[in-house]
Each structure stands twice: as structure tokens, then as C-alpha cells.
Structure 1
Amino acid sequence: MTSEIDLYVGKRLRRRRRLLGLTQQSLAEQVGIRFQQIQKYECGANRVSAARLFELSEALSVPIQYFYEGLSSHDPLFHDPDPDVIAPDVLSKKETMDLVRAYYSMGEAPRKHLLDLAKSLEANTKPNLRLVST
């Protein structure tokens, strides 16, 4: 039975893997398992053992606590979301990672212009959104 914590750990795993530009296959090879197992971890179908979590944290260059950051009984994951908060899992989406990579591949001046444009568009759509820190 999948728990909310298993889902949360899986989302954090996927987010970090994508941020580093790794495929499920390449991460699986680093820790000596099949890519299907990474898929199961990321969707929360399988629990990640303590030993495997250690191996994944090493492969992804994060401390083990990274997978639990922001997770508590007071976390929005366990409650109705605040309408003014962007869900933390937005960072695990491929589109978001593509946008971040494209943004940082630009020079400083184009990045500033793009950020100014995004802020002006945001002001016209849904003001006062904030990202839940994780």
C-alpha cells in the first residue's frame, strides 16, 4: 500500500533526477538496479529501503534528508492546499525543468528581460502566489 510519504519521497527523487538531467536508466545504472525500479520509486509504487535511499542520495549528490525536506504533519501535502501557494511538485515537472535549463543557458541580460516579462505577466493573472519551500 502506497503511503503519502512514499509518494513524497518519489516526487523528490524525480525532481532531483530531472534537475540533474539524468534519465531513469542512467540513475538506475549508477545504483545497480533496473530503470523500472526507479519508475516504481518515483510513482510511490515501491518503498525505497534505507540502503537504497543512501545509494540514491550519493548518486544524486544530496543528503538523505533532502528526500524528506518540507515533509511534516503541518505540510500542505497532508492538508487542503492554500490557494495562494504553488504546489511543490511543480518543480518535478519536465516542463519546469526545461524552462529552468533554458533560462540558465541564456546570458545575464536576456535572463533579466525574461524575468521582468514573467513578473509582468504574473501581475496580470494571479497575484501573490508563493512557492512552498521544500
Structure 2
Amino acid sequence: MPPQTAHRHPVRVYYEDTDLAGIVYYANYLKFIERGRSEWIAALGVDQMALRAAEGIVFAVRRVVADYLRPGRFGDDLVVMTNLQELGGSRIELRQEVWREDERLFTAAVTLVCLHDTGRAARIPAAVRSLLEAARS
């Protein structure tokens, strides 16, 4: 059963998300969890476009370790679960899962890094850090 404390983002599997067998194409899980992360950070009150415009700060994926457990299929209603695991000076570690009802289909450990728009590492701004820390508790 999906964790109740995680951020939940619904995803419907469309024909375009599948291969010839009607199974979710593996790379599309990465798109699903990207949407889940975007909705998670927005739900915390972080406006990524405003952050980039005001401070030149962006978040980028540094690492993804993924496990494909069961196939999603055309027409499925899925839920992307996002949980904050660790928070560093410029790093955010998340656990993301994709569920179909009580069945876990996909898991990923995702490491994000905070960067200046020049590509150099940046500390997570204090206001954003406060929002992230509140999400962890």
C-alpha cells in the first residue's frame, strides 16, 4: 500500500505512454516521476520559475536508481508517490514510487542538486530549505 505521508500525484496511462504490447514504455516512468517531483515542490510552495528568475537557482537530476517491478498498462490510473529522504547543503534525495491501487510498479531513488544557472553547485536557499525541512517532519 502506498505510504500515506508521501505527496501523491495521479497519472493516467495514455496510448502514447505504451509500447506495441500496451505496456508502459520504461522511459516514461522517468517522465511520470518528473511530474510527481514538479507537483511535490510546487505543493510545498516553491515556485521554480521565480527562483530561477530571482536567484539564478535551478534543480537538476544528478542520479536515478530505478527498479521496474511490474508493468503499467494502457488505461491504468497510477499514483506517483514522492518522499523526501535526505537534505544536504546543495543536495536533495527523494524516494519515488509508482503505484496502481495496492500494487507497486516502480521505485526510484533520485538525487537532485541545486545549481546556479551557470552550472555550478549552489546551496539550497534558506527559504526553500525551510519548506523542505517542514515536508520531512
TM-score (norm 2): 0.26
Q: Which has the higher strand share?
A: 2
TM-score (norm 1): 0.26
Q: Which has the higher helix share?
A: 1
User: Rg bigger for which structure?
Assistant: 1
